[in-house]
Chains A and B, each alone.
Chain A
Amino acid sequence: MLHYLEQDLKSGTPASRTLIENVSRRSFLGGALTVSGFVMAINVAPAGAREALKSYPTGAAGMPHGVITDPKIFIAISDKGDVTIVTHRSEMGTGIRTSLPLVVADEMEADWTRVKIDQAPGDEPKYGNQDTDGSRSMRHFIQPMRQCGAAMRQMLEAAAAAKWNCDIGQCKAQLHEVVNTESGEKLGYGELAQAAMSLPVPALETLKFKSQDEFRYMRKGEAKIYDLHDITTGKAIYGADIRLPGMKYAVMARPPVVGGKIKSVNSEATKKVPGVEGVFEFAGPDAPPYKFAPVGGVAVVANSTFAALKGREALEVEWDHGANAVYDTETYTKAMYETAKKPGKVIRNQGDVDKAFAEAKDTFVGEYHQAHMAQAPMEPLVAVARIVDGKVEVWAPVQSPFGARKDIAEALKIPIENVTVHVTLLGGGFGRKSKWDWMIEAVHISQKIGGAPVKLQWSREDDIQHSFYHTTSVERIEMAIDAKGKVTGWRHRSVAPSIVSTFAPDSGYQFNIEYGMGFADMPFEIANVRCENGEAKAHARIGWFRSVSNLPRAFAVQSAVAELAHKLGRDPKDMLLELLGSDRVIDPKAAGFPEDFWNYGEPYPEFPINVARLKGVVNLAAEKAGWGKTLPAGEGLGIAVHRAFASYVAMVVHVKIDKDGTIRVPEVTAAVDCGFYVNPERIRSQMEGAAVMGMSAAAYSAITFKGGAVEQSNYADFQVATMANFPQKVSVHIVEPKEGHHAGGIGEPGVPPFAPAFANAIFAASGQRLRSMPMGDKIKV
């Protein structure tokens, strides 16, 4: 996300269209310092490939440091035959730390039970892009990881051929050994390790990939997540679990209003708290944009977390709240509704919308609102930092370790080589941990105490009150309807403070990434379409939350469809299918998409908007949920579909309203078409989680501001779904991919369809239409 933004701001060209050159950095092999990484534009077809994998370009080429496909970077085999596979993406619950190495292991015919996984530190020139964000890991790295695995398999086979002095054609890698198909002799991977690892890496063109029927682990869903045993026994290591000798503990008091400054500090009482060893003041950034800079404040360093927390409680700080003290959610929300009533900046224009509305027989207007949210991952932010001889070392649960490393080097004005960022397991991320403000704080505190190791712990209150928030928004949808009940015009106005404001002077307008998320890419077959963006200036740090702007857009668009169905006396699913229209791949030009249309960073021809796939998941979810079945009074079904991160998800939500008005969800039926997939088991778990997190957003979670400060502080007032009320059952149906349907994202696309399907089901069950998120979990009875 950040990367795209920076690139867009700099060049004004859409990142998705920038393909990096085919740069080979590899000239020699063998020397310890040789960089044998092979940065490539992955639209080079492996000409000699006998099997399956037809190489295709992805947005990975447009990411910083692209992809690396050198098996020697990612795979090591010991003399005993133990295979170590490096994973360079961060594990925050999606299972990627298991799923990508699984791809390597499968392609190289390794025995999964003999594979160890190593977490890479932040080093993108070595490993390729590490920004674990935007549901990109599988989408971008399935090909490079298959290449690594296939190359290593061929190196092992070549090593065996040399040993047996036979033709390589009769050497076949098979579950951790190479078999001589003529003689029946076998050599284990351990025995071949040294010889294989010293061979040159075969060129991409000579790689032979496994065909689908040869897959051992991919698409089977039988491998457990790698850290399962450690997690269930309390041994897994997250950020806060790092302990260094002599380590100090720190917490910080931060300005309650972003951009606020310290007026005065009285730390006398703090210094008397047993265990407190130091109090340090930090100035925040001078003026916006704040980017990922720490907001400043007062750090309390102590000999235990609790002493630091108590010391912070005893602090007396007076703040100068600054310009953002005007931020008041109630007033701001009203203003957004007003703005949405007026024409805005035109982002997409197709046909003649004004004419369509002028000639309309009838019109529909729906206004949909969403509050800010915090990501609130279960593990609050935490980092351990130390500085030894000018060399900084940080351990943190971070989604983008190289981005953090770069900024830490910059903050300290030291060369990047002097900064190491170790990645622990992440106790959830959801976008919060792709901003590394807290890591810079930890390093600054270590600097104040002579480089001694220090653990900076954020409390839950810190997390809720100093996030980079999911934006708040009003989405207004208007439809022109002709005499036959056909929709002839679509006008969508989006008003929301933008992520851009965190990185550049705030124009009050959004940018192509936000426009690309369910707004400008609206897929309905309607002749006249206009998408407009109304001004909304930010007064808080706006960031991204799992699925970003897709959340409010899917809510608005898919609620509006069901509302229209009701108005016209139609079935909501039929209405949805009718609006989606004919099976087609949308032509962005003909549809009036913006010039710089953002397709999740992916090249459009490879990852187009395929309406047949949208309809496919709608039909599948409807069929599996028994759409149309008769339900008792007080129950209802709602349906919604959304494409995000190059994947398609439809959900049918079944709602049942208790006598006291409590909204229950007995079942969610999800149909997902994410193209080529690897680990169905983790896809299911992501969809289950997305449905429940979708319910958190739909029913419970809101961050509100008063006087510029966040009003919520912990899970008591920033509510999330718990076992007290959550979707009781989530059945997930995965579409078998067709040829050319490349791996799409899976971490985020499950979230957006929940809220509208939920709202539509509430309407079906009760006749009440809820248009503002969070909707609460009770209706008036």
Chain B
Amino acid sequence: MTVKITVNGRAEAVEAELDTPLLWVIRDELGLTGTKFGCGVAQCGACTVFVNGQPRRSCVTPIGTIPDADITTIEGVSDKVAKAVQAAWTEIDVPQCGYCQSGQIMSAIALLSEIDKPSDRDIDLAMNGNVCRCCTYHRIRAAIHDASKRMEG
């Protein structure tokens, strides 16, 4: 089947079975490897992307359920919130191995797009679906606060 989607502003016509998770379309078909596979069952958040502006676990999002969707991956984020988040991540040296961080950053952007001044509790609630086995949670939280401040300026 051919499914039309827009990825990072580019129109794509992908050949795929309709039950193919968006994750594998992005990675295998489109060659965008910033979105990661961690669990395949919506338990780790490594595969988080935006589908029509909303954060989604791409590993459990069949491509057939999102025809004509507008998709943004880590490679395509560029708005003010995203820039603030990436700058904060850099300033605070968040990553260790880095593997989970695409997903963390996507979730953080989603959070800050909703709530521009999140509390610790807001952060924990919004981010607790994103596992980091290197356990960078302290810095993730600090970086989200830092990004929030950057967004003011």
Give the CA-CA distance A240 to B37 in the complex, in Å: 9
Chain B nearest CB from A270 CB (Å) reads: 15
Most buried by B among A427, A714, A727, A730: A427
A378 near B134 (CB under 8 angstroms)? yes
Contact B37 A689 (CB under 8 A): no
Tell me which residues from 447 to 480 in chain A have a Cβ below 8 Å from any Cβ of chain B. Answer: 457, 459-460
Q: Complex Cα distance A228/B91, Å?
A: 10
CB contacts (< 8 Å) of B36 on chain A: these are 238, 240, 378-379, 427
Question: Which chain A residues have a beta carbon within 8 Å of chain B's beta carbons?
Answer: 91-95, 224-225, 227-229, 231-238, 240-241, 243, 249, 274-275, 304-307, 309, 376-380, 425-430, 457, 459-460, 681, 685-686, 688-693, 696, 714-716, 720-724, 726-730
State the Cβ distance, B27 to closest chain A Cβ, in Å: 7
Q: Is B50 an interface residue (CB 8 A)?
A: no
Q: In which size bucket is the chain B interface?
A: 35 or more
Whether a CB of chain A sits under 8 angstroms from the CB of B112 is no
The answer to whether A688 and B135 have CB atoms under 8 Å apart is yes
Asked if A379 and B38 sit within 8 Å, CB to CB, the answer is yes
Which partner residue on chain B sits nearest A221 by CB separation? B93
Interface presence of B148 (CB below 8 A): no
Q: Which residues of A contact B10 (CB under 8 A)?
A: none
Evaluate contact between B89 and A689: CB separation under 8 angstroms: no
Q: Is B54 an interface residue (CB 8 A)?
A: no
Compute how far the CA of A474 lies from the CA of B28 in the bound complex, rounded to whole angstroms. Answer: 46
Residues A224 and B133 in contact, CB atoms below 8 Å apart: no
CA distance A227 to B95 in the complex (A): 9
Chain B residue contacts of A307, Cβ below 8 A: 17
Bound complex: CA A643 to CA B33 (Å)? 40
Query: Are the CB atoms of A428 and B99 closer together than 8 Å?
Result: yes
Q: How far is the CA of A457 from the CA of B95 in the complex (A)?
A: 24
Are the CB atoms of A723 and B128 closer together than 8 Å?
yes
B21 touches A306 (CB 8 A): yes
Q: Residues of A contacting B136 with CB < 8 Å?
A: 685, 688-689
CB neighbours of A459 from chain B (8 A): 40
Q: How many A-B residue pairs have CB under 8 A?
A: 179
B93 touches A228 (CB 8 A): yes
Q: Are A723 and B74 in contact (CB under 8 A)?
A: no
In the complex the two chains form, is B130's CB within 8 Å of A232's CB? Answer: no
- Given A234-B75, A722-B128, are A95 and B96 also a contact pair (CB < 8 Å)? yes
Q: Which B residues are CB-close (under 8 A) to A724?
A: 124, 128
Q: Which of B99, B105, B137 contacts A232 (CB 8 A)?
A: B105
Complex: how many Å from CA A236 to CA B99?
9
Q: Among A228, A234, A425, A693, which residue has its beta carbon within 8 angstroms of that of B97?
A: A425
A561 to chain B, nearest CB (A): 26
Asked whether, in the complex, the Cβ of A378 is within 8 Å of the Cβ of B102, the reply is no
Interface residue from A305, A681, A693 paired with B135 (Cβ < 8 Å): A693
- In contact, B17 and A428 (Cβ under 8 angstroms): no
User: Given A249-B28, A380-B38, A714-B43, are A720 and B134 neighbors across the interface (CB < 8 Å)?
Assistant: no
Chain A residues near B16 (CB-CB < 8 A):
304
Q: Give residues of chain B (7-32) contacting chain A, Cβ–Cβ below 8 Å.
A: 16-17, 20-21, 24, 27-29, 31-32
Q: List which B81-138 residues lie within 8 A (CB) of chain A.
A: 86, 89-90, 93-102, 105, 120, 123-124, 127-138
**Chain B neighbourhood of A686, CB < 8 A:** 96
Beta-carbon contact of A380 and B34 below 8 Å: no
- Max chain B C-beta neighbours (<10 A), residue from A227, A378, A690, A691: A378
- CB-CB under 8 A from A723, the residues of chain B are 123-124, 127-128, 130, 137, 140-141
A234 in contact with B35 given A305-B24, A460-B40 (CB within 8 Å): yes
Q: Give Cα A721–Cα B38 distance, bound, in whole angstroms.
A: 15
Q: List 6 A-B contacts (CB under 8 A).
A: A378-B36, A689-B135, A723-B123, A723-B124, A723-B140, A723-B141
Known: A228-B90, A378-B99. A240 touches B33 (CB 8 A): yes
Known: A379-B99, A460-B40. 7 other contacts (CB 8 A): A93-B96, A231-B101, A232-B94, A304-B16, A304-B20, A427-B36, A427-B97
Known: A234-B35, A240-B33. A225 touches B133 (CB 8 A): no
Asked whether, in the complex, the Cβ of B139 is within 8 Å of the Cβ of A92, the reply is: no
Complexed CA–CA distance, A38 and B41 (Å): 50
Asked whether, in the complex, the Cβ of A430 is within 8 Å of the Cβ of B133, the reply is yes
Q: By the criterion CB–CB under 8 Å, are A378 and B100 in contact?
A: yes
Collect the chain A residues with CB atoms within 8 Å of residue B102's CB.
Answer: 231, 234
